[in-house]
Structure 1
Amino acid sequence: MRPTFEELLAGWITRQRWFAGKGRAITELAVETATPLPLRGPAESRHSDVAGSSRTTDDESTLPVTVRHLIITVRQESRTDRYQLFLGFRPELPQRLNHVAIGPTDDGVAYDAVHDAEVTGLLLGGIAGEDEIGPLRFHRMPGVEIDTSPRSLVLGAEQSNTSLVYGDRYICKLFRKIVPGVNPELEIVSALAERGSPHIAKPYGWIETDVAGENTTLAFTQEFLPTACDGWALALTSVRDLYGSLAGTDAGDAGGDFAAESHRLGVATAHLHKEMAAAFPTGAIEAPEVKRMVEGFRRRLESAIAEVPELAAHAGEAHEAFDRLADVEHPIPVQRVHGDYHLGQVMRTPSEWVVLDFEGEPGQPLGERRALDSPLRDVAGMLRSFEYAARHLLFDHPDPRRLAPRAAEWAARNRAAFLAGYSAGGGGIRGDDAVLLRALELSKAAYEVVYEARNRPAWLPIPLAAFTGPGA
């Protein structure tokens, strides 16, 4: 007996990198909306048969294809999540699409159509034309022009979303897990673009719909930066150069010293925080709220210790840092922040550092991701990223003990350069700011301890070292 469409989706979705419910059984999957999409795109020889159907010029098949946008609900015990799917249906799949097959249905073989460049032009075209298709609304940023001719390619690195790159011009991010409300990335990048910020990729448009009565962001399209290099890759090149240099060579003399870029990144981060403070409301948390924040840090720490007992030996250092923060009596300024800031979220263009992915931690509720916070949370995230860049290569090295001091030197040098740049850019860290920064770093490290224990046990020494490393 052939499985139902919902059963096919339930079996397929658990194997997708962006599915957030791995490890838990699906108790129910239901299709909430299914919107046929009229095909449009770069292939001029394509012609529509009916709405949502077209004949393609694929060398391997001239069979009709239909495309639908779905929002599904997935229930796993007491948890319910929504996901968006961009599905194609063909009588049979050409070979190039076999790897994204979902299975046979009454409407043909279903497949993940984000991988089909013959049909993904309808997303870019819809934004360019500011279309409205059923419940889906496509929007183009005011004053921009969009070339709809480039074909798409799926980026393979992302886990929580799917991004389509159109030629070397545009990148369209599909938010796979749907949370009712405006995505912080659309909100923040749009506001910063209006202020002419040089630290963002130019926005071109977005797709939205109503979910649970709220205007909800489905996708966001920005300028693609083909000549840029992400900060993580640049940092690792520097670390490798240091590891490969002669014994006795310090980090400042190694061929790939990264400290100047870390300083520039610190300046850019401070400027970005100023721009965000100007674009959105700001505030301050008073001493009682600071104490509640500290209690949250303590709960995270105790939860981490319960899961990773090795952390218990370092609990004293953490509680001491939290105690110092609890004693702070003056208000702490808060504003909109990035929320998930690290070297993988920044790109170095020929002229500037550009910051990406302002949606915050995808696993957190939307209200928390949009909440005001200390900008030092972003600073702490970047400092933790320097530690990871410096140390994670040791685990595959034949002589990690010899290189451990060099890793510590690289991390310390680049941390100091970033903080100096942040201060030079107007984001000075003085007095009690350092107390807050240390507490934020250790809270972040407690989260990392749990993550590494679950996913990469060999890397557990990296976050554990935070409790006896810089700032201790």
Structure 2
Amino acid sequence: MSDSSSDSSPPRTAPASLPLVTAPHGSALLRSLTGPLARWLPRQRWFAGKGRPLSALTLVSATELLPCTAQGHTPGLLHLLVRTREQDAGRPAAGDCYQLLLGVRPVLPPALGGGLVGRPTEGPLRGRAVYEALDDPRLATLLLERLRAPGRLGSLSFGRAPGSAIPSGLDARVLTGEQTNSSVVYGEQHILKLFRRVSPGVNPDLELPLALAEAGCTRVPAPSAWFEAAFPSAAAGAVGEPLTLGVLQPYLAGCTDGWQLAIASLSARTDFTQAAHSLGMATAEVHTALAAALPTSELGREDLEATAEAMAGRLADAAAAVPALRPFRDGLGRTYAALAAFARRGGTCPVQRLHGDLHLGQVLLAPESAHGTSHWSVIDFEGEPARPLADRRLPGPPVRDIAGMLRSFDYAACQHRASGAWVDAWSRANRAAFCRGYADASGVDPMDQVELLRAYETDKAVYEVLYEARHRPAWLHVPMAAIRRLAAAPD
């Protein structure tokens, strides 16, 4: 049965605290879970403190979505926000706040055994199996049902977009793969992204798609529902900023991401420039809609000179950490000097809200319609997850998104570098086609301000060198190919 009204169900309000988590049970609950969570958390792909043992856990909030101490075989569902503290070089370091969804059963079925967190030996959950709730289709489906009903439950607040249709009883499946969050697909109709590491403030992956939907932009799936938590304020009795915990959006079934399409084009040696051109147009449409919906500003001389100086500082830091980068410092430095000179000549740069982490994996192409047209959609407006949330919400120059996409074409091409000159030509042609498409849709050609584009592309490549050297040394040759090209570029 489909429910298309956002207000068809009255808000459901629950007591601010439930029996399991009232004092003294809240402290007893955390004490009983600290050992199992300390062993389980560092093994999760979304845990940011890998390699550093946990020294402490603090309970921020706990809410029962289903009773966890009931008798019988009915599973319980517990929502936790916990703050970690990790050991860093022998000294305790401030940790992060994580969202956990835990199932509770007297006996864990074998099919759910892989998600076992542990069996507390004390406290209100003593003797019960505690496990990753998203692995349990029954509990994942319950979460969707809760999103269908706006209102509050404990410290959690559930919202729903007016007119959104969220059918009931959809089957749930968890997406696997390397993700910094967790995603659940419901019946090939909706997808729920659960943010694991959370911070005070509205996540841009909710804020920006809501603004784009209100502006009528069809390039981004509009949020259907979401849920948040009220983060405790430092002031006694006050409530701080909300934490965005999850966003439910339409699932674009049948679409293929730009990375897969680019790799397929390279493998088959087919032309990709038409797709790159339409992708440039889609990017421009999103930027134009964001600029119309949210405040904009401009970087003048002082700001651009400071930007060039900051880029040079990041280059120096990266070169100190990655010896392969050192021979190219002078050549890359000329790019930043050219940006500062552009500023001194009166050059400016628009600033607005952005995607923040745009690349071929963040865009989806729908299959061709009966009329032979195709449609690009842009997803994942969270920005770079490693950056603080406050930074990710700051306006920035559109050229930063453009540079990210140009670097992504290079990354795809480097998967087939052994094919020689043809692959280099593929990358150049698609980079140019993307910029032409952007210009056709916006009236602003990124190539017209080459100092800006080259500086931001160089800054992105320097970041990539540092990232690959630390996390994927076998991929270091990919950004280094761009470093050699950019360092040798004429003034």
TM-score normalised according to structure 1 size: 0.88
- Who is 2:6 aligned against? none
Instruction: Identify if the C-alpha distance between structure 1 residues 428 and 366 changes in structure 2 by more than 3 Å, giving closer, same or farther.
Output: same
Indicate conservation of the 8 Å contact 2:436/2:445, yes or no: no
Give the partner amino acid of 1:204: S
Give the structure 2 partner of residue 442 of structure 1: 458
**Who is 1:369 aligned against?**
392
What is the distance in 1 between the residues matched to 2:280 and 2:70?
Answer: 50
Query: 1: distance between equivalents of 2:416 and 2:50?
Result: 28
Deviation for aligned residue 1:149:
1.1
The answer for the alignment partner of 1:349 in structure 2 is 366
CA RMSD of aligned residues (A): 1.7
Rounded to whole Å, the distance in 2 between the matches of 1:34 and 1:468 is: 52
Partner of 2:20: none
Report the equivalent of 1:228: 255
**Equivalent position SS for 2:97:** strand
Please name the residue that 1:421 is paired with. Answer: 437
Q: State the Cα distance separating 1:145 from its structure 2 match.
A: 2.2
Corresponding residue for residue 354 of structure 2: 337
Query: In structure 2, what residue type is equivalent to 1:172?
Result: L
**Relative to structure 2, which stretch is displaced further, 460-469 or 348-357?**
460-469
Q: Does structure 2 conserve the Cα–Cα contact (< 8 Å) formed by 1:392 and 1:459?
A: no
Deviation at 1:391, TM superposition (A): 0.4
**Compared with structure 1, are the counterparts of its residues 431 and 457 closer, same or farther at alpha carbon in structure 2 (3 Å cutoff)?**
closer
- Which AA in structure 2 matches 1:305? A
Asked if residue 433 in structure 1 is aligned to residue 413 in structure 2, the reply is: no
Q: Which runs of 5+ in 1 are unaligned?
A: 39-50, 56-61, 243-255, 395-399
Match in the other structure for 1:42: none
Residues 54 and 202 (structure 1), Cα distance of their counterparts in 2 relative to 1, 3 Å cut: farther
Amino acid at match of 1:355: V
Contact 1:53 1:65 in 2 (8 A): no
- Residue equivalent to 1:25: 53
Q: Does 1:109 align with 2:129?
A: yes
What percentage of residue pairs aligned between the two structures are identical? 42
Cα distance per residue 1:218-259 (max 9 Å; x no partner): 0000000111111110001001112xxxxxxxxxxxxx3211
Structure 1 residues 21-30 or 77-86, which shifts more? 21-30
Matched residue of 1:380: which SS?
A: helix
| CA distance in structure 1 between the aligned counterparts of 2:381 and 2:98, rounded to whole angstroms | 20
For the pair 1:321 / 2:339, whether they are aligned, the reply is no
Misfit runs of 4+, over 4 Å? 52-55
For 2:391, the aligned partner's letter is E
Instruction: Say whether the 8 Å CA contact 1:67–1:113 is kept in structure 2.
Output: yes
Query: What is the SS of the residue equivalent to 1:14?
Result: helix
> Which residue is 2:111 aligned to?
96
Q: How far apart are the structure 2 equivalents of 1:292 and 1:111? A: 49
Match for residue 382 of structure 1? 405
Report the more deviating stretch, 224-233 or 426-435.
426-435
Local SS of the residue matching 2:459: helix
Q: Contact 1:317–1:467 at 8 Å: present in 2 too?
A: no
Farther-moved stretch of structure 1 (362-371 vs 338-347) = 362-371
1:8 to 27, 36, 51: 36
Partner-residue secondary structure (3-state), 1:7: helix
Match of 1:277 among 268, 288, 291: 291
The 5-angstrom pairing of residues 62-101 of structure 1 reads 63-76=73-86, 77-101=92-116
5+ residue gaps, structure 2, are 1-30, 87-91, 233-239, 368-373
Q: How many residue pairs end up in the alignment?
A: 432
| Cα displacement (A) at 1:25 | 2.3
Q: Which residue does the alignment assign to 1:182?
A: 202
Please give the per-residue CA displacement for 1:10-58, whole angstroms capped at 9, x wherever unaligned: 11010000001112222211222111113xxxxxxxxxxxx45779xxx
Q: Taking structure 1 as reference, are residues 277 and 353 closer, same or farther at Cα in structure 2, changes over 3 Å only?
A: same
| Counterpart secondary structure, 2:295 | coil
Given the two structures, how large is their TM-score scaled by the length of structure 2? 0.85
Give the match's secondary structure for 1:347: strand
Q: Give the whole-Å Cα distance in 1 for the aligned partners of 2:475 and 2:131.
A: 36
SS in 2 for 1:99: helix
| Counterpart selection for 2:267 from 237, 240, 248 | 240
Q: Distance in 2 between matches of 1:316 and 1:379?
A: 25
> Cα deviation per residue 1:434-470 (whole Å; 9 max; x = unaligned)?
2111000111111100111112212211111112326
Contact 1:6–1:31 (Cα < 8 Å) also in 2: no
Structure 2 Cα separation of the partners of residues 465 and 120 of structure 1: 44
Could you tell me how far 1:78 is from its partner in structure 2?
Answer: 2.2
Partner residue in 1 for 2:215: 195
Match of 1:41 in 2: none
Instruction: Call closer, same or farther: CA 1:125–1:304 in 2, change over 3 Å.
Output: same
Contact 1:53 1:64 in 2 (8 A): no
Question: Is contact 2:416-2:423 (8 Å) kept?
Answer: no
Shift of 1:406: 2.2
1:257 is aligned to: 271
Distance in 2 (alpha carbons) for counterparts of 1:37 and 1:4: 19
Question: Is residue 435–residue 447 contact of structure 2 (8 Å, CA) maintained in 1?
Answer: no
Paired with 2:192 and 2:340, the residues of 1 have a C-alpha distance of 43
Contact kept in structure 1, 2:299 and 2:349, CA below 8 Å: yes
Q: Distance in 1 between matches of 2:309 and 2:448?
A: 18
